């Protein structure tokens, strides 16, 4: 099967990351809760930031920043849903 190199992601990912991430909806792989990231519990610290599910406390993502780099790891969530052109309405 033919494939493109990663440069083909520039267009689709530029659109995907050009949104208010707090309004994106994610499913917790621990409890199945589906909610906007704005509802998550955020624990900032000197070593980085840990984002936990607002329902069960499972780690959803970690963010680590240095002066010239940043790392984001999605550990406990499924796909992130971004609704185009309409406000996100929480399910449930
Ligand atoms: Zn959860």
| The token pair that represents 62 in the structure block | 């970690």
Separation of alpha carbons 53 and 31, rounded Å: 9
Separation of alpha carbons 59 and 48, rounded Å: 13
Q: Of 30-34, 53-57, 81-85, 88-92, give the lowest mean pLDDT range.
A: 88-92
Exposed, middle or buried: residue 69 (CB in 10 Å: 0-12, 13-18, 19+)? exposed
- DSSP annotation of 6 reads G
Separation of alpha carbons 8 and 49, rounded Å: 30
Distance 3 CA to ligand 1 centre (A): 36
Distance 20 CA to ligand 1 centre (A): 21
Residue 47 has pLDDT above 90, yes or no: no
CA-nearest of 36, 41, 42, 43 to 19 is 36
Distance 33 CA to ligand 1 centre (A): 5
Q: Is this model's pTM higher than 0.85 or not?
A: no
Q: How confident is the model at residue 20 (pLDDT cuts 50, 70, 90)?
A: confident
How confident is the model at residue 87, as a pLDDT?
52
């Amino acid at each position: 099967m033919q494939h493109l190199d990663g440069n083909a992601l520039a267009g689709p990912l530029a659109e995907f990351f050009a949104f208010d991430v707090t309004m994106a909806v994610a499913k917790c792989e621990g409890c199945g809760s589906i909610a906007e990231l704005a509802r998550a519990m955020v624990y900032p610290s000197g070593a980085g930031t840990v984002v936990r599910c607002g329902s069960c406390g499972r780690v959803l993502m970690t963010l680590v920043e240095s002066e010239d780099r940043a790392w984001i790891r999605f550990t406990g969530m499924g796909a992130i849903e971004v609704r185009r052109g309409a406000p996100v309405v929480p399910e449930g």
